[in-house]
Chain A
């Protein structure tokens, strides 16, 4: 069973479009994250949610809106996509009280 899953794995779209990436974890964790890895391979945190509440927002443009319908899901919606949004987006989860994070396989977003 996949612990942290993301869909889709690849996403190719035009500038200006709106798209969503979904993340689900079956580990029973109550904290979930979104990270962005750019073309230079730098991996940076974007958001963190704990029990469906936003904990960390790393000055990400408000075109990015995470949504957590329940503890097991954290989706990322991106409005008005720009060329610079092209990257690999990773979802992760962890259990409260620990700092060990489990990452999903990533979603490669390409904006044309």
Chain B
């Protein structure tokens, strides 16, 4: 699986959009970009994933550049409860045969009141 690079920490004002970047310059054509987050003292939580196209769900939007070498997770209206470590993970979508998520160090997003 390709490696990812994320800033170690970011701040965001409550109510504003939080934009979390991720670099994955060695991503392969068959690798998806996944985002998970871990709120303090809780288990990781799936947020969103995508391959080429931008994706949106009730939690967030995922913007993937055309060359797929980077992506941005957008939380449109950050709340204090969004304070967490956000992990960007790339992996081959092999139908779950080797469902091994490789977590990096992630980005600690601190939402400020």
Contacts and interface: CB of A to CB of B under 8 A. Distances in A.
Contacts of A43: 38, 44, 103
B101 to A, nearest CB: 6
Interface in A57-112: 58, 90, 92, 94-106
A92 B96 contact: no
Question: Interface size for chain B: under 10, 10 to 19, 20 to 34, or 35 or more residues?
Answer: 20 to 34
A90 B98 CA distance: 18
Given A99-B32, A99-B34, A56 B44 contact: no
B44 A90 contact: yes
B45 interface: yes
Contact of A48 (B32, B43, B100): B100
Q: Would you list the 8 A-B pairs with minimal beta carbon distance, nearest first? A: A103-B43, A43-B103, A103-B44, A100-B46, A97-B95, A96-B96, A90-B43, A45-B100
